Amino acid sequence: MCGRFALKNPRAIKVAFGLEEMPDLPPRYNIAPSQDIAIVRFSPAGRHLSLAHWGLIPSWAKESDKSYSTINARAETVDSKPSFRVPFRDHRCLIPADGFYEWHEEGGVKQPYHIGRRDRAPFALAGLWDLWRGPHGDVLSCSVIVTGANNFMRPLHERMPVILDPADYERWLDPDNHDTAALKQLLAPPPDDWLTAWRVSRQLNNPRHEGKVCDEPVDPSDEA
């Protein structure tokens, strides 16, 4: 699954994602479910960055219940689950990140790890969005698609977020691309040699904690 990630260098995503305009976003080291996160969508004027609630609220929901357990969509069933079927066909997005976190049990303690690209470059998590229209306004929301772990991630967790190849961004965002079978082929784990990982402070466990303390490597003895 993917339950926490980071966007520590938001200025880098304008070039990485081909954005025409870029709002002034603060660095984020501990992005958690139910918070608003940056998503990149297609628009006729070029790719556009918006903020969306992390936890997809289906457009057909009777209420804008933000407690929906839809922070993640499984790649294997994204084209068949009622909450995700239409967004997968029509409402795909890129979710900018430069790291994500996973927990691994070590000595009876769940130890968080930061995972990112070896070159520290930003990357795109495959995402879905939907728009719930209510009497008090619209709610834009999203989910991160997850898949089976690659060989690098498997010692930490059996699942991981889908990291899209930049060469596939255009196909993924194209609103006229409704070939769901071909789109599902993009939802594979990245090559093993893309990624690196390190232990981080267990302060990450609390989503109220922010800043570099959530990202800096720690020695196992530091928190014994």
Catalytic (active-site) positions: 2, 102
Concatenated DSSP letters for the chain? ----EEES-GGGHHHHTT-S----PPPEEEE-TTSEEEEEE--TTS-EEEEEEES---TT-SS--TT-S-SEEETTTTTTSTTTHHHHHH-EEEEEESEEEEEEEETTEEEEEEEEETT---EEEEEEEEEEEETTEEEEEEEEEEEE--TTTTTT-SEEE-EE-GGGHHHHH-TT---HHHHHTT-SPPPGGGEEEEEB-GGGGSTT--SGGGTSB--GGGG-
CA distance 167 to 174: 13
